[in-house]
Structure formats: structure tokens, C-alpha cells
Structure 1
Amino acid sequence: MKSFVTDAGVAGSITAGNGPAILLISGLGGRGSFWHQVMEILSPTFRTITFDHPGVGESKRVGQQSIPNVVTAALDVLDTLEIDRATIVGHSTGSLVAQAIALEFPRRCRQLVLSGGWARPDRRFRDCFVLRKQVLVKAGSVAYGLLSDLLAYPNAWYNNAIAQPQQPAFDGAQQTDAEIEIVADRIDMLLKYSRIDELHKVDLRTLVIGALDDIVVPIEHSRELASLIPGSLLVEMNGGHFFPKVETEQYARYLIEFMGES
């Protein structure tokens, strides 16, 4: 896997596969490393690319946190790598970015994959993310990180891979005020954004993947997305909200099957 930084300061990584290009867009956390295990599985057959969202990880901050700014970063990555069209895969918040690219720049999309995504934030969704923001601002980033893991991973995975023998401690290293502000702004960003009234215009071969045990973005959201995009395919699996990390091989298999049928 090779790292790169665009002239605009977008940091990312790419595998050396010679097949069709796949651009993988991460969620609220915004770090491309979310996709690295999936990329390893796909890399023998596909040229896989990901990146850190603006202001996250190694990428330079550009203005306010917004979906349009992440779209600009994604297109900058494709332009820098001289990729005209790619399969666009977006997970969670990344699905909003993928929807925007499909609607505004369809010629850059070979096909579309929306996983763990939504068309609009309903009231439960709003309350969940408002609570997460309050924990972040009031209790700090350590408590926020613990809550995020508790919500995003299935019970068995959390017990085996996340939980420590001792009770959680909340006096560890906290993010800076600036870093906390970016995360809080990103929560506001996703709560304000919806293209639900335009999704019927998406004219791309589309796969929607949701998890039956996802309590962050319940499966109803994926079902609604699939119903709004003409001709889309819907796959339901398990693995909590972070199912690309929990069930990596199965998730990658769904991608490979979908792209192999194009």
C-alpha cells in the first residue's frame, strides 16, 4: 500500500492493483485506515484508494467541515491519481459523500456502493448523534470513544477485541479542543445533510449494504435508501455499525460479487 498527498493537502493510500479503481470513503471518523483490511482483500483484483477527510488524520483542514468539502477532496484524489471513473464506496457518513458524487458528478462514478448509510436522519438518529456530541463536549474524547465503540461493535466483538480486563478509565489522554471541535462540527455536518428528494435521480448501478444488528444506523435506513434509488440491490448482513471491519471477508465478498457482475 502506497501513501500519497495531493497538492491540496489530502492524504491517502492506494494499492498497486491493475484492475478497475475503487474509491472507499470512510464515515464520521474520517480516516482512510478504516478501509485498510478491506483494501488488502480487494487489491489483487482491483486498484483501491482511500483518503483522510479534510481536517482529519494526515489531511489538511480546508474551511468548515461539510459534505461538499469531502466531495471536493474525493474528486481531488481521483484527479491527482488520473482516475477518470471509479466505483464509489461510502460507509456511514461516507455514504452521504458517495450520494453527493453520484448526484453531482455521475460521470466520475462507474457504480455506487452505500453501506451503513441513510437518506435522512430521523428523530432517533438525531437523538443518538446529539447524545454522542454532548458526551464528547461534556465528558471528553475518551468517554466519547468508549461510547462510540459500545454502539458500533457487536457484543462478542467488543468483548474479544475492545474490552479490557479492568473497568474503563476516563483520565487518559484527551483530544485537544481543536480536535474535539472538528468532531463536533462533523456530527453537525451529517445531521444537517440529506438529499432524500433527489435520490430518485441516481442513474447508476447501486448496491446498498446494511447490518441487521446496527444500532447506530438501523437497517431501516438501508432499506429506505434502497427503495429510493431505482434498481438498487439490497444486501443485509451482521456485524454492527462497523461491519466492514467486523465481517471484513464477507463484506469484501459482496463488493467483489457486485463489481464482477458489472
Structure 2
Amino acid sequence: MKLRVAVIAPASVLALAGCAEDPEPVAVEALSQSGQSAFVCLAVDRPDPNAPGVVRSLPITDCGDRTAKSPSDFGVDAASGGKATLPHLYALVTQTLRGEIAVIDMTTESAPILDQDTGTPGASFLPVGAQPVDIIATPGGTASFVAVAEPGRAGIFALPSAKVVPRTGCPVPSLTSWPACSLPSAPGEVLLASDPPDADGNLRASCSGAYDVEPASPEDAEAAADACGGGGGDLSQEGLGRQKLLVSMPELGGFAVIDAQTLLEDERYQEGGFAPCEVERWVPLEV
């Protein structure tokens, strides 16, 4: 079952309008027409205090009921090489009107709606294609996947978790920051399934491929981490086999099976490439 949450925007914030002698406060809504949501548990380590923090994805169960004083409070332990001891639970919420994903810090006691670009007025979110209809996160929090139904540009956007938490020194995400692939028609609901490893623990990149992929360990993934999330993330380090996206296609009467790791790392989909999604299996549905 997919976890969902209804997020209610703060009632208003005060803003000055114009240059009148007695300016009237203007209500500014942070969230607008929120839709589906997904959750990830993330910590931000600081191995180098003078460089941006490094995002470390964790199983959702590692985020307990502890609270943080601020969005930047990760309980970093300098004595242990800058390791974060207080992970945060984040809700990634589709903004259906704006074609964006809002990131809500569920652990902090203050300023829970993360502003991706503090240099512009108002709250800035993560841009994706128009009309996001669904979002789902991997169980280990490495990445999330957004289905968009924009006319003429329907597809799937992959959001590596290393890029969703704003940090000083890292670029502000744009539409071309995400790996993305196109679909022939508007998608519906998206689910995740796992193709289990063989007896030796190896994985296969596709449903018809050989078991010749050695999974990464969490230690491998941590060692290869880039401060600003240059890599898409290796889903195999979550220990759940090869993860597949099951994308319902209502207009075509079936669902498509798409390899999640291929979408994250294939050059065809990088920097807004938006090549057609590589469908491993097409499963028609009969009524």
C-alpha cells in the first residue's frame, strides 16, 4: 500500500504591497492544489564543514518520532566524521496546478516547507512536467518517480533524493535537472515492484536479461556520493532486487513495466533528454 498524506498550507504569510503609506498585508499561499505524495527518510552528513552536506538515503523506518529545531538540524557528530544522527522525514507532494513537487520537512519544528531558491520571492519547489498525477518513492529513499500527464509531453520524471534537499553551494534544480522519459499517452497510477536476485545475489538489468549485475552495498553508495547529487543513485544498495516501475496507461488499457535504474542512469534520459521510456513488458488489462 502506498502512503499518502494530505498537506494543508499555512493560512498566510504577511507581505508588503507596493509603496503606499499604509500597505495592506497580502496573503501568499505556499501550497496550491496539492495532489499525491510520497515519503523519504534522509540525513545530511557533513564530512567537510566547508562543503555542501552529503545526502544519505535511509529506510523509512529509520525516521522515528524525534523532532529537529530547524530544517538544517541533523544532529551532525563532528567526532564521527560529520555523520548525521538525526534523519528527517520528508513528504514530496505534487502541486497539480504549477507542475511542481513541494518538499515538506515533517521532522522540523519550524519552516517545514522547503524553499529551493531563496533568491526569489515566495516558496520555490521542484519543477517537473505539467499535470503531475502520481508520485512514488523507493523504500530506501534513494529516489522518487513522478508521472506527468502534460498533453504532448506525458512521461516519468526521476528525482534522485540527493537533489531534493536544498543546500548552500548546490545549484537550484531546474526542469532539466531530472532524468526523464516520455510516454505515448497520459499515465495514471504508478507502483514499484522488485525483481528478486538469483541464488548468488546477482541482479538482471531487464526481465529477459542475464543475472550479471552485482548489487551495490550501502557503503559503496555512500563512498560514491556526490555532495550535490551528481549521480542518480544506485537503487540496488537498498537490498530489494532490481526495482521496476509499473505505470498504468488508462487510455491504452494496460500497464508498462519500466526499469527504474535505467531511467535514473541511462544517458538518453539525462538533462531533460526525454527519450521514449524503455518498456520491458506491456501488460494489457481485460475488463
Higher relative CO (CA 8 A, sep ≥ 6), structure 1 or 2? Answer: 1
Name which one, 1 or 2, has greater alpha-carbon Rg.
2
Question: Going by fraction, where is helix more abundant, 1 or 2?
Answer: 1
Same fold (TM over 0.5): no
TM-score, normalisation: structure 2: 0.25
TM-score, normalisation: structure 1: 0.26
Question: Going by fraction, where is strand more abundant, 1 or 2?
Answer: 2
